[in-house]
Amino acid sequence: MSEQKTVLITGGSRGIGAETARLFGENGWAVGITCRRSPERGKALVQELTAAGVRAKLYSCDVADRAQVDRMVEEFLRDFGQLDALVCSAGIARQELFTDITQESWREMMGVNLDGVFHCCQAVLPHMIHRKAGRIITLSSMWGQVGASCEVAYSAAKAGVIGLTRGLAKELGPSGITVNCVAPGVIATEMNQNLSPESMQSLAEETPLERLGTPREVAQTIWFLASEGGSFFTGQVLAPNGGYIIG
């Protein structure tokens, strides 16, 4: 079994996930990333990482589909031999009035943002529990902490991720596995491109640091939790949000 540490990052082809893959690679980890909607970008990232000397592979997977997740994790373990950290960053966002949310839209939001975390955690746990080691980092949002108008489904799903993280941390602590959550504020990623420049500027001005966050800053928070520095953190929610939400 390889001594090189390995990380599996869902939704790793762009934004926070892609920057997280780069950061882990820079720190000597082997990296597996999943994507569903951006295969070409995923391939380009793997090529970038490989060119930089990182052992990396792309997996096509819809995290809302349990069968696909199980197959993906099995393939990852065949390829890399072990899994040291799971980063659940796959997610979707959508703005709509609560009264306009269809059952299909609600289920898609829950399927990717919450069920996907459940599926991935369950799929990797037999391996981690057997080794009595592992780091799980989930991605929520500041809206999962306080809620957002016109993003009720998103807020509900991300609040669920926080609850899952805290409960699972208590359950897995005796097995030597840490489970923590990162809840970013407004980050300059493609997920926020549906917002107007005026809205983005307003959000920046409402942030005490008076700017948007970067994917790199969120990736550094994720990296900390997977590194030795994060070894005594579990069940925690770290919030790189520039002070937008305090408390």
**Residues classed as catalytic:** 154
- Rounded to whole angstroms, the Cα distance separating 88 from 23 reads 15
Which residue pairs from 46-54 have beta carbons closer than 8 angstroms and sit at least 24 positions apart in sequence? Answer: 48/22, 49/21, 49/22, 49/25, 52/25, 52/26, 54/25, 54/29, 54/30
- Rounded to whole angstroms, the Cα distance separating 53 from 76 reads 19
Cβ 12 vs Cβ 33: under 8 Å = yes
Burial of 210 (0-12, 13-18, 19+ CB in 10 A): exposed
Cβ 76 vs Cβ 8: under 8 Å = yes
